[in-house]
Structure 1
Amino acid sequence: MSSTSAAFPPNFGNEICIGHDVDFDRIKSRMTCSKFHDSVWGLVIYRCSQGHQSAWDRLLQGLRNDVRQSAEYYNREEVLQFHDLHAIDDKRLYGATSHQVREHFQSWVPKNLEDRIRPDAVDFKKDKCWDIDWLRATSTPRYEYCLFADDICLESVDQPGLDLPVVKILWKDWESPWSPEEMSRPVPAPFHDGVTEYWEEDVGWMYMPLLDYVGNYHVLGKCFWEDQYVRPPYMDGSEDETNFVGYWRKKSSSEEANQADRERPLSTEQSSR
């Protein structure tokens, strides 16, 4: 398969999972259980870029605005008090790869669950695997997926585009089928991660427009990752190289090259003509 065939990925998601209505009742029913002292929904987001402080702040605000606007649209403002976009801004994670973010998230999940358990919860370790409420509350998108924002995501905050800004959404339980040596190979164009030139390759994360935050939380709460996955930089299959995430970097490089050509001094032969 040639790299040109990568320009024809499938449409995002499938017919079973795609829907315009957000089921807030489903979200509410899975944000607590009898062993928890609180009720929470929403994703964790990691900052993986040292700069772009203003963009980071605006990105977080954009995600929270999507929650507020969605709740208002469905007349479900009561869910706002339970939403927690848990931001992790740790300098040790600046520049982290998706694999490093996943490793941190995998350790964060059990610690967060432990912190939510009521002190008087009895026989927790013994019966948790048979507690339906526990299983429902711990298999929500909050504990299966997380967001992270690197340089390219924070750059997208200041770029024009229908699906911009974006963040990256990551599946916690994804496992690479490739060896470390294979994963160190150059990424085939036009993709932003991976080993092969096939758009079917699952790299464990994908781009998500900020405006799809609540919608994706709802969809991933009832469907499988594989049903929704599109290999980056694609998001819905309609993109081309002029509007891929990161198109501005290519444009900037081209402009810099043109500027350098204009500023390059004439050779002796050229100047004598």
Structure 2
Amino acid sequence: MSSISAEPSQVSETGTYLDHISSPDVDFDHIKSTMTCTKFHDSIWGFVIYRCSQGNQAAWDRLLQALRSEVQDSLRYYIRPDLLEFHDLHVIDDKSLYGATSHQVRDHFQAWVPKNLEDRVRPGATNLDDDVDWHYATSTPRYKYCLFADDLCLESVDHPGSHRPAVKLLCKDWESPYLPEERNYSVPAPFHDGATEYDEEDVGWMYMPLAYYIDKYDLLGKHDWDDQYVRPPYIDGFENEERFIGHWRQKSLSEEVKATSEPSL
């Protein structure tokens, strides 16, 4: 479980409320070194993000703006504008993926990665399989992990608080123990995925507050998924139910039940 220090909330120049500025332990030089490969015709870094919710266009737009503002504000704070022009939050907004599960997002991402790498290879590049830089560049967080936002994530934009808003961070190489026809398993409370009641079960994705974007990109470039993983809905592993992503749904449901059970006058 990683530890990322937070600083007091502040308002950025773009008007975004920030609960966090990237940790001073972020290795910006490492991020810079991984965005370049002699086999590529371009140099970029940053996550791919999938939209998996059809509704709430305003929240989706605000979420993307908040992510981009987080990167901009952090790089400005640490005086690293050299990285900003190369940042690419690649958005995949495909209607066929609205309502997609983590398994379906992973399937798409696994197919997208080799196609995108092929598009980035410069004309005349050869011997890719024997090139150490190529293997290093293709194992960066951009190609091993992706983000996706579903209904719950978009709702979190309108329910700010500790660790919110948040998106889902997915591991591409996670192998599901279930066949496709077995993926409609029952999820035990209070978890948001998985088929067991054990908090150490790895379900292949976890929640990531928007403010952790650069930190996670850096950490996942140097450490394994297992070192960072926390089973959802937990983010730091110590939240109570009132801080879970989606707790507002339960509150709303309770209020509806209470309203219908009260006798009319």
TM-score strictly above 0.5: yes
Partner Cα distance (2:159, 2:95) in 1? 25
SS at match of 2:85: helix
1:204 aligns with 2:208: no
Match of 2:56 in 1: 52
Q: 1:69 aligns with which of 36, 58, 73?
A: 73
Larger Rg: 1
- The gaps in structure 1 that reach 5 residues or longer are 1-11, 267-273
Number of equivalent positions: 247
Identity of aligned residues (%): 66
1:232-243 to structure 2, matched below 5 A, reads: 232-243=232-243
Query: Match of 1:80?
Result: 84
What SS does structure 1 have at the residue aligned with 2:26?
Answer: coil
What whole-Å deviation, never above 9, does each CA across 1:42-99 have from its counterpart, x for those lacking one? 0100000000100000000111011111111211011111000001111100000000
* Cα displacement (A) at 1:120: 2.2
Equivalences for 1:136-147 in 2 at 5 Å? 136-147=136-147
RMSD of aligned Cα (Å): 1.6
The two structures have a TM-score, normalised by structure 2, of 0.89
Q: 1:35 aligns with which of 29, 32, 39?
A: 39
Q: In structure 2, give the amino acid aligned to 1:203.
A: V
1:259 aligns with 2:263: no
Report deviation, 1:13: 2.7
- Residue 81 of structure 1 aligns with an amino acid whose one-letter code is E
Cα drift, residue 181 of structure 1:
6.0
SS where residue 147 of structure 2 aligns? Answer: strand
Q: Distance in 2 between matches of 1:211 and 1:70?
A: 9
CA offsets per residue over residues 204-237 of structure 1, 9 Å max, x none? Answer: 0000000000110000000000010000000001
In the alignment, which of 96, 99, 104 is matched to residue 108 of structure 2?
104
Higher relative contact order, structure no. (Cα contacts within 8 Å, ≥ 6 residues apart): 1
Please tell me whether residue 221 in structure 1 is matched to residue 221 in structure 2.
yes
Residue 242 of structure 1 aligns to a residue whose secondary structure is helix
CA apart distance, 1:161: 1.3
- Partner Cα distance (2:195, 2:55) in 1: 29
In structure 2, runs of 5+ residues without a counterpart are: 5-22
TM-score, normalising length: structure 1: 0.87
Distance 1:14 1:164 in 2: 17
